[in-house]
Amino acid sequence: MDENNCMVDIARFFLDFTVDESCGKCPPCRIGTKRMLEILNKITSGKGEEGDVEKLIELGNNIKVSSLCGLGQTAPNPVLSTIKYFRDEYDAHIRDKKCPAGVCSELLQYTIDEVLCKACGLCKKVCPTDAISGERKVPHVIDQNKCIKCGACMEKCPFNAITKG
Ligand code: SF4
Ligand code: SF4
Ligand code: SF4
């Protein structure tokens, strides 16, 4: 793992797995992990609010001590340890609505650098939502309201004029 991995997304990935694996016998694991996953989904989709991290910590610690078996007792660990060591990433998602690693697609924005753009039109051709406009010899522009953040334009641009962030 490196700076291209989003720690909030990693925590969400592991919790998603344990939510699926929970047998459902005890409520802390059956219900608590689902509530934690809902909060993580909220944060990674840009709808995180102040206090969400504190709720995750409180829920996680309660689930750890009150679950019946090892699955529930360890399920919150990826969330709690990423909060402990990468709290700044949680804050960036919640306060700045940014994913520093550029992973959480709903928080990304694709933009065209008007200096680098050679107006070749390739990005416009591959965009599935007609979000890119521009004429010959005129730098192209992305309409953020139409962009579904698929990344096809960035892959296609031969001049590295498109960035995500
Ligand atoms: S902690 Fe264990 S027993 Fe309780 S719901 Fe989870 S998997 Fe089942
Ligand atoms: S990311 Fe996808 S939808 Fe958005 S402008 Fe590029 S090709 Fe179009
Ligand atoms: S593919 Fe790149 S250079 Fe060509 S129009 Fe799009 S942004 Fe500009």
In 19-139 the beta strands, taken as DSSP E runs, fall at 110-112, 132-133
- pLDDT one-digit tens code per residue, 72-90: 999 999 999 999 999 999 9
pLDDT tens-digit profile of 29-57?
A: 999 999 999 999 999 999 999 999 999 99
With the most atoms of ligand 1 within 8 angstroms of its CB, the residue from 29, 33, 34 to mutate is 29
What ligand has the least distance to the C-alpha of 119? 3
Mean pLDDT, range 106-135, rounded to an integer: 96
Structural domains of the chain in order of their starting residue, each with its CATH number: 7-95 (1.20.1440.230), 109-164 (3.30.70.20)
How far, in Å, from the CA of 124 to the mean position of ligand 2? 9
Instruction: Report the C-alpha gap between 133 and 29 in whole angstroms.
Output: 49
| pLDDT at residue 165, rounded to an integer | 80
Predicted TM-score (pTM) of the model is: 0.81
